[in-house]
Chain A
Amino acid sequence: MKPFTTLTGTTVALDRANIDTDQIIPKQFLKRIERTGFGEFLFWDWMRHDDGTVNEEFELNKPYAKGASILLARRNFGSGSSREHAPWALEDFGFRVVVAPSYADIFYNNCFKNGMLPIHLSEEQVEELFQREAKHRPYQLTADLNTCTLSDGHGFSAKFEVEPFRRHCLLNGLDDIGLTLEHESKITAYETAHGIGV
């Protein structure tokens, strides 16, 4: 897995709550059997009109959003389906960081498996970021996982929390399966004690 340490990048703000994984990547793009190449399908139905032309009003299509790597949204981001295609699509499009007041559990968990950092801030802090983003486009933020700080270099600086072990794995790009298999003797002992596979 790609490690995540620190990132400075353009922030794009989506002023919506409950952005579900069906919006992040609609089902017609879940039929592929690869992990890569999902970026072009990100927010498919919001990116374009019914006739297929580009929806210039959608935030990700604005000129100031070009090259954005940080996504700002309202509460309960990533709700719904467990599809890991959602973080795959965000990552492939160029996003490494999401900032929101809250996330759906499965989406949140899936981000860490793909070298992405979902940052929790309070509703008030997120509101302030929305206001700052609206005033200073393109808006740059720096997410530093070493110090667990999100800042804009112009007076906004907030500490965020990540479970210590998740942070450790993300900073070092560690692979979960490899880590678990360090405890393989314990798995075998569990199976023996429960008569599994004997």
Chain B
Amino acid sequence: MSAAAKPRTLFEKIWDAHVVHAQEGRQTILYIDLQLVHEVTSAQAFEGLRLAGRKVRRPERTIATADHNVPTTDRSLPIADPISKQQIDTLRNNCQEFGITHYDMGDVRQGIVHVIGPELGYTQPGMTIVCGDSHTSTHGAFGALAFGIGTSEVEHVLATQTLLQYKPKTLELRTDGKLGRGVTAKDLVLYLIGQITTDGGTGYCLEFTGEALKGLTMENRMTICNMSIEAGARAGMIAPDQTTFDYLKGRPFAPAGAAWDKAVAYWKTLPTDPGAKYDKSLVFQAADIAPQVTWGTNPGQVAAITAKIPRPGDFSDPTDQKTTAQSLEYMGLAGGEPITDLKLDRVFIGSCTNARIEDLRAAAEVAKGKKVSGHVQAMVVPGSGQVKVQAESEGLDKIFKEAGFDWREAGCSMCLAMNPDKLAPGERCASTSNRNFEGRQGKGGRTHLVSPAMAAAAAVAGHFVDVRDWE
């Protein structure tokens, strides 16, 4: 059989199409179609270019936005934190100097970089996409090869439009059957991370397959691919199909006219061929998945809403026992409590994982006509200016505000608490974000990761509840 006729996976097809130079024993030089840039991991890269007297090779293949640091309160006011302001100003100046398109604060198209790339139609199937942010895996939802890189690599891509990469292995995560009522894409991905653990995907590119994925919207698929990195995988992908094409059609930077037809014809060749081999395949059953809640300090420490918090003795591996004890101590938990008993102080609905329009609709549906519990402070932060506008046109903002949620401007916000939105020490928070690390949402803060519907229900009840029993 010739090399060309060998069945290939989605990953292999994209990889092969982007090889600029491959040499035995060395990293491959891979062409990068699109780079996304934000303020936190780019300043030193631009400075490196200046020091070496280098230019940006393809400025039209990089777009920028400020998201990590931006305040989510009134945008007409100056930024209170002078260091945040300097970083945001630096991005603006760098984009101007190097000729890069920048969606600045005040532009309705500004937002979390992993929300606006797809929303504007930059993200397309078959592309290689990088960003100095680990959640770049989000874009794999379109059948693109997308992964996070460090600042030295950001500089490398700016200078050469390529990246040096060792070829990762492929891991198929197949989920058979349909997700149950009230069980979402977030629950699916949290469950998978719990199963394979936070380093189960290290060294691999994930492909999510199976019947459970079939009916999912693009927003749902982005939630799943977004969290690939929480399983240790730099990239995760889902094969493009009609849902993908329907989402992209008519978006500002998607191909149009004859170029659209040509693009779709190519995109249809991308899904994994029958008979193609993954380096590893694992199979899961959708029927086993309940709404999930993390209880520890990494996303693999997760359980069903119906479960009790585990105890160190529930694990056999000594490192797991020790890690569990450390996590429980940080989280202020004894072990053995029913998850539904955990009382909450804060609720955060937002982040590149769950701040798209569908996520806000799901949360609003639960919150409609209800009131946030008296001891809970809850906030909703849309993923982009456009998501905010869309939500307001649907009246979602009114539902949230009437229920007692804060309705904010777009940004990363309390996912990583680089801006003023943060937890106080000891506060317990139900969050739709992606990381429950120690101090992630504020020093001493205790984060439990959940879906948007679960977060909204928890805000109203004041403690975790099984959203399948709602109303």
Chain A residues in the interface with B (C-beta under 8 A):
15-18, 20, 22-23, 26-28, 30-35, 45, 50, 74-76, 79-84, 87, 102-106, 109-110, 113-114, 163-165, 176-177, 179-181, 183-184, 186-187, 190-191, 194, 196-197
Contact = CB atoms under 8 A, between A and B. Distances in A.
B377 interface: no
Interface of B: 20-21, 25-27, 29, 31, 40-41, 43-44, 47, 52, 54, 57-58, 60, 68-69, 81, 83-84, 86-87, 90, 132-134, 148-153, 155-156, 159-162, 164, 166, 168, 198-199, 202-203, 229, 232-234, 298, 319, 322-323, 326, 416-418, 425, 435, 437-440, 443-444
A33 B416 contact: no
B443 A33 contact: no
Interface of B is mostly: loop
A104 B438 contact: no
A187 B162 contact: yes
A104 B134 CA distance: 11
29 contacts: A15-B322, A16-B326, A18-B198, A20-B435, A22-B438, A22-B440, A23-B439, A30-B68, A31-B69, A31-B81, A31-B87, A33-B43, A33-B47, A80-B435, A83-B40, A87-B150, A104-B199, A104-B232, A105-B232, A106-B149, A110-B150, A110-B152, A163-B25, A164-B25, A181-B159, A184-B160, A187-B20, A191-B31, A197-B60
Contact of B54 (A76, A84, A177): A177
A102 B232 CA distance: 11
A144 B203 CA distance: 25
Contacts of A110: 150, 152
Given A26-B439, A50-B444, A105-B203, A187 B161 contact: yes
B27 A165 contact: yes
B440 A50 contact: no
A22 B437 contact: yes
Given A17-B319, A81-B134, A114-B152, 20 more contacts: A18-B323, A22-B440, A30-B41, A30-B418, A76-B232, A80-B437, A82-B133, A102-B199, A105-B202, A105-B203, A105-B234, A106-B149, A110-B152, A164-B25, A176-B164, A177-B52, A179-B164, A180-B164, A186-B20, A194-B31
B58 A196 contact: yes
B90 A33 contact: yes
A15 to B, nearest CB: 7
B259 to A, nearest CB: 11
Contact of A165 (B25, B68, B81, B440): B25
Given A18-B198, A106-B148, A186-B20, A33 B86 contact: yes
Given A28-B418, A75-B199, A165-B25, A33 B41 contact: no
A164 B202 CA distance: 20
Contacts of A26: 439, 443
B258 to A, nearest CB: 14
Given A106-B149, A176-B156, A190-B31, A31 B40 contact: yes
A121 to B, nearest CB: 15
Given A30-B418, A81-B134, A180 B160 contact: yes
A113 B443 contact: no
A93 to B, nearest CB: 18
A45 B439 contact: yes
Contacts of B203: 105
A17 B152 contact: no
A80 B84 CA distance: 22
Contacts of A82: 41, 132-134, 148-150
B150 A109 contact: yes
Nearest to B61: A196
Contact of A16 (B87, B153, B323): B323
Nearest to A101: B319
Given A102-B202, A165-B26, A30 B443 contact: no
A74 B198 CA distance: 14
A17 B300 CA distance: 13
Given A76-B202, A84-B150, A177 B86 contact: no
B41 A190 contact: no
A76 B155 CA distance: 26
A184 B444 CA distance: 49
A173 B122 CA distance: 36
A31 B418 contact: yes
Nearest to A20: B437
B438 A23 contact: yes
Contacts of A34: 44, 47
Nearest to B159: A177
Task: Please indicate which of the listed interface residues B25, B437, B443 has the most CB atoms of chain A within 10 Å of its own CB.
Answer: B437
Contact of A79 (B29, B152, B199): B199
B202 A104 contact: yes
A80 B298 CA distance: 9
A133 B153 CA distance: 35
Nearest to B152: A113
A177 B435 contact: no
Contacts of B233: 105
